[in-house]
Amino acid sequence: MRISRGKRNILFAGAISCAMLFGIGNTMAYFTENAVQTNVFTTGDLDIGLKEPGWDPEDNDGKNMYPGYTVYKNPTVKNITSDKNGDEPCYVRMTVDILNSQGSPVTDNQTLNLIYKTIYFDKTFNGSYDKKEGYGTGLVQDRIPGYSLAQLASYPMVNPLWGKDTSRSTASSLVFNYMGEKGDGILNIGEESTLFTNVVIPTDWNQTQMQKVGNYQLKVTAQAIQSKGFASQSEAYRMLDEEIKGGTLQEVDRDSQN
């Protein structure tokens, strides 16, 4: 796993992402400067974690898929910052990169449209950042005979608490911004949110569609930036984009969580 950090004035930023076939675990850290006493300044540390507790590559998750295949895959981000320096609210976004087995972006539109139809969010899923044995009553892992496209039609691709960033997304790289219950995009210390919960191969698919999809990867990356000091979420992300574009982020290795 890799974590990137850089400094520009009072902003420290970092992000990591690592991909495996259908598997990803990420953490990243961002820091703020915060006055806590007269003439005394301390640097807070904003930390988020990204886990997929329901995903188990050791149990062959994502391997040998077939029409009707259903598995839990629940990328969940959490603000794991210590409260030693007070509140550290943040804005969070997640990117889902759709890659082929060689790690390159999938470019064929037909293939992409089929892959889109394998990603679903089930609001009944009760897994969490630290709970591996989560389950859902809507889309159940390993259910026989699985789910048809008609049955899947009522499920959204991602959690409604996340909004697609149309200005930053491309066909093979989907960016979702956390909006939250209040719509302000704030993720406070101890709060968490899951982007999607299941990968499902519809029972309707035939051999031609299975071959079209082939072997693919879902690479999920989470990025966060402090919300304090910015007038809006969009302004915070604009600053983060500038830091990334400027190449000021340095990479540091960290052990993968998954």
User: Which tens digits make up the pLDDT trace of 65-91?
Assistant: 999 999 999 999 999 998 887 889 999
Whether residue 258 is contained in a domain is answered as no
- DSSP 8-state code for residue 49: E
Whether residue 123 is contained in a domain is answered as yes
Hey, which bits of 149-231 come out as E strands? 162-164, 173-178, 192-194, 198-200, 216-226
Q: Supply φ then ψ for residue 30, to 5 degrees.
A: -135, 150
Whether residue 42 is contained in a domain is answered as yes
Q: What residue numbers bound the domain in which 124 lies?
A: 2-253
Q: What is the pLDDT of residues 201-225, one digit of tens each?
A: 999 999 999 999 999 999 999 989 8
C-alpha distances (whole Å) from 174 to each of 3, 94, 112, 250, 253 are 21, 8, 11, 24, 25
Q: Supply φ then ψ for residue 168, to 5 degrees.
A: -105, -15
Domain count across the chain: 1
Q: Could you tell me the pTM of the whole model?
A: 0.81
Q: Are 50 and 75 in contact (CB under 8 A)?
A: yes
At 25 the three-state DSSP class reads coil
Model pLDDT, residue 40:
52
Whether residue 9 is contained in a domain is answered as yes
Q: Evaluate the omega torsion of the peptide bond into residue 67 and state whether it is cis, within 30 degrees of 0.
A: no
Instruction: Tell me the mean pLDDT in the region 221-249.
Output: 86
Q: Are 97 and 173 in contact (CB under 8 A)?
A: yes
Q: How confident is the model at residue 44 (pLDDT cuts 50, 70, 90)?
A: low
Whether residue 248 is contained in a domain is answered as yes
At 116 the three-state DSSP class reads helix
